[in-house]
Amino acid sequence: MPLDPDALEAWTFGEVAQAYADRDTMLYALGVGLGTDPLDERQLRYVTEPDLLAVPTMAAVLCHPGPWIADPRTGATRNRIVHGEQRMAFHRPLPAAGTLRAGFRVLGVEDKGADKGALVHVEKTLRDEATGEALATVVQTSFCRADGGFGRSFGPRLPLHPIPDRPADLELSLPTLPQSALLYRLNADRNPLHSSPDFARRAGFPRPILHGLCTYGVAAHAVIAGLLDYDAARLRAFDARFSAVVFPGDTITVEMWRDGAVASFRAWVRERDARVLDNGRALLG
């Protein structure tokens, strides 16, 4: 069944508000690997008080709109949807605790063809509830593998960032824990694909897989550590395409190239020769 582009173009979302505490900020940071060295004062700023800082990519888990795309009116085949791409622009640092409000819109839909599926881009704007100030703009792309061929696209086509054709300037490897998915799921996404061995096997995986957004957060951790000396406020944007799964306990190796204010990156699990993130672009301040 193809997507319904008319329904998607007219789709309306209610605003979502969320209050969060310093505990939530610490939990997210621990979930993407901050605090691995508990003697590193630079990392401790993200996992301990009193001067707690938020990892910018925590914007991914705040004010989640819920499984709206599973609504039958979209025409999407729920069990054939995967997270394809993630883009974020950071306007102001996230507070370590506070109340945010988010608005959403379907930014665009790309029909790739009847046998190639479709892309659905959804934009979320996070604002401070008290001031109305925009903190982050998040674009999540869902790849609807079984739902192409409807013949009408709308909205912008979002180009993928090319990786430089030269050896990486820097490479950093960060471990994940066997329980990383069990830890990360406490942020927002309790999909049993990341926790139930039986569910994962029925989905075609030998065991539960790591959340793609956790892999994305680990890559942001690598860029913040390797290129910004843990000064995350200098991260202005962070985009990537998901290209393969990660299993909890894998070590994620992030290759980085710096060209002025733009850093390109991609991520691997070397033990399986799996490229797990590609077309990465970070804008540095």
- Residues involved in catalysis: 189, 194
For helices 212-228 and 22-31, give the axis angle rounded to 10 degrees: 90
- Of the candidates 80, 73, 57, the one whose C-alpha atom is nearest the C-alpha of residue 138 is 57
CA 251 to chain centre: 18
Instruction: Centre a 10 Å sphere on the Cβ of residue 56 and count the other Cβ atoms it contains.
Output: 25
- Of the candidates 90, 199, 68, 182, the one whose C-alpha atom is nearest the C-alpha of residue 136 is 90
Distance CA 220, CA 138 (A): 15
First to last CA, the chain: 45
Instruction: Centre a 10 Å sphere on the Cβ of residue 38 and count the other Cβ atoms it contains.
Output: 9
Distance CA 212, CA 220 (A): 12
